[in-house]
Amino acid sequence: MSNAVFSSCPVYLPHTRRHLGSLYRSIRCHVFSGSILPSGYLASVYRRNYSNNFPSGAKKPHRIASTGAEIVGESGQRYIIEKVLQKKEVPGTCVYLAKDGEQRFILKNTHDFGYYRDIYRRLSTSPCLRLLHDTVPNQSIFIYEYLKDDLLTFARKDLPIVTTKRILRDALRGLEALHDQNIVHTDIKAKNIMIDWEKEAGETVIHRVQLADLEDSAILPPNCNVLGKAVGNWMWRSPEAHAEARVNTSSDIFSFGLVCICAVFKHVILAVDPKTLPEGVEAQAIILQRQLSYFGNDESVAAFLKHIGDENPWGAVFNVLWNGWDETTPREPFALWKGVDPVFKDLIAGLTDIDPGKRLTANAALCHPWFQLDE
């Protein structure tokens, strides 16, 4: 059982409160074997006016650096910007690829520089987390060593199961290190697990596996939760994160369970192609339906509804979805999937329980038999 203790104590993530209009579209209807959620039914779920508030004392990052610009780190090391890899949703924050000679680095400028630098300092001894190589405090820039690949891409390779287990185990060790410091990641997904590897004598050799992207993480005091924020990516987030309810370390665990399935099956099971959806049906409705179908049961759903609370408008949504199964739209419990290792099924059951209070802790998951095999 999870060691997270749920309470009403709120912890709001600095800078990450985005305008919900940019994150969600209202789910206008959802076809459920003739049962339809009418247009506007879920609109009240989304109508919250959040803004990008900067915490006291935080600096807004400097303007976007141009290609060829030189950045001097606090250590004195110099980095030349090669290209912008990503422009984040928060204005002025970017991810860059840079070089010093032949060595590559990832640079990120961020709001709340001091807050996240404190998080990195707490984690200075963990080899399974992508930690800081250098910083540029006057420009709110973090600098990391470059790792060759991410798990979302790497998992597509024809890998022996022992290699997949090693990657997942090291990523889980990174997550354990976070949780041991009362830090919740909030954005666990395959793309945030970085891998350094090489081909040696025709074999794939893994040098490093690190859990990355801690810039949306939050320090949780004991008995506290993140509230009022749909943290993480739609396809990877926990059901309570979808509901903007109490999110804590157990929410990271649910997302990690989805990562494990992706790594083993080479498929993101909650991915939805918008082009395949019937008119008026939103991807998020399909994602929630699949979560309940694969991982829910009467007991866990009842506990989940208690967890999010009677006043949460998402409760009605989950009730409608859970009660929509029939002979033409049956549930597809992961525990009944054919051709899946039963030990792996047991691990996933512990990671993805719809009831947050019954999920494994990172430490307990590391002790699971699936991670002990093929040593």
Among 21, 43, 39, smallest CA distance to 31 is for: 39
**pLDDT reported for residue 41:** 36
Superfamily covering domain 9-53+149-372? Transferase(Phosphotransferase) domain 1 (1.10.510.10)
* Predicted pLDDT of residue 191: 97
- Hey, which residues does 198 pair with through a beta bridge? 205
- pLDDT at residue 374, rounded to an integer: 59
Contact call for residues 301 and 288 (beta carbons, < 8 A): no
CA distances from 281 to 27, 36, 79, 316 (A): 7, 10, 47, 18
pLDDT at position 64? 67
pLDDT tens digits for range 186-197: 999 999 999 999
Give the chain as a 3 state SS string.
CCCCCCCCEEECCCCCCCCHHHHCCCCCECEECCEECCCCCCHHHHCCCCCCCCCCCCCCCCCCCCCCCEEECCCCCEEEEEEEEEECCCCCCEEEEEEECCEEEEEEECCCHHHHHHHHHHCCCCCCECCCCEEEHHHCEEEEECCCEEHHHHCCCCCCHHHHHHHHHHHHHHHHHHHHCCEECCCCCHHHEEEEEEEECCEEEEEEEEECCCCCCEECCCCEEECCCCCCCCCCCCHHHHCCCCECHHHHHHHHHHHHHHHHHCCCCCCCCHHHCCCCECHHHHHHHHHHHHHCCHHHHHHHHHHHCCCCCHHHHHHHHHCCCCCCCCCCCHHHCCCCCHHHHHHHHHHCCCCHHHCCCHHHHHCCHHHHCCC
CATH superfamily of 70-145: Phosphorylase Kinase; domain 1 (3.30.200.20)
- The gap between the terminal CA atoms of the chain, to the nearest Å, is 26
Q: What is the mean pLDDT of residues 332-350?
A: 97
Longest CA span, the chain: 66
Confidence check: pLDDT of 141 > 50: yes
**Domains of the chain: which residue ranges?**
9-53+149-372, 70-145
39, pLDDT greater than 60: no
Nearest partner of 250 among 321, 288, 209, 303, judged by Cα: 303
Q: Which of 204, 279, 295, 287 is nearest to 243 (CA)?
A: 287
Query: For position 327, what pLDDT does the model report?
Result: 86
The yes-or-no verdict on residue 369 having pLDDT over 60 is: yes
Q: What is the pLDDT of the chain when averaged over all its residues?
A: 84
At 260-289, the pLDDT tens digits run 999 999 999 999 988 888 888 889 999 999
pLDDT of residue 279: 81
| Cα–Cα distance list, 98 to 83, 104, 141 (Å) | 7, 6, 12
How confident is the model over 291-331, as pLDDT tens digits? 999 999 999 999 999 999 999 999 999 999 999 998 888 99
Whether 161 shows a pLDDT value over 90: the answer reads yes
Least confident of 89-98, 144-153, 159-168, 197-206: 89-98
CB 109 within 8 A of CB 39: no
Residue 351, pLDDT > 80, answer yes
pLDDT of res. 44:
35
Which pLDDT does position 10 carry in this prediction? 52
- Per-residue pLDDT at 176 exceeds 60: yes
Q: Work out whether the CA dihedral 148, 151, 155, 161 comes out positive or negative.
A: positive
Query: What whole-number distance in Å separates Cα of residue 48 and Cα of residue 223?
Result: 26
- For the stretch 196-230, pLDDT in tens is 999 888 888 999 999 999 999 999 988 899 998 89
In this structure, the dihedral spanned by the alpha carbons of residues 283, 254, 150 and 154, taken in order and rounded to 10 degrees, is -90
Q: Among 222, 256, 239, which Cα is nearest to 365's?
A: 256
Mean pLDDT, residues 176-187 = 97
**Helical pair 249-265 and 342-351, crossing angle rounded to 10 deg:** 150
Lowest mean pLDDT among 29-38, 85-94, 149-158, 262-271: 29-38
Confidence (pLDDT) at 9: 54
Domains 9-53+149-372 and 70-145 alike in fold: no
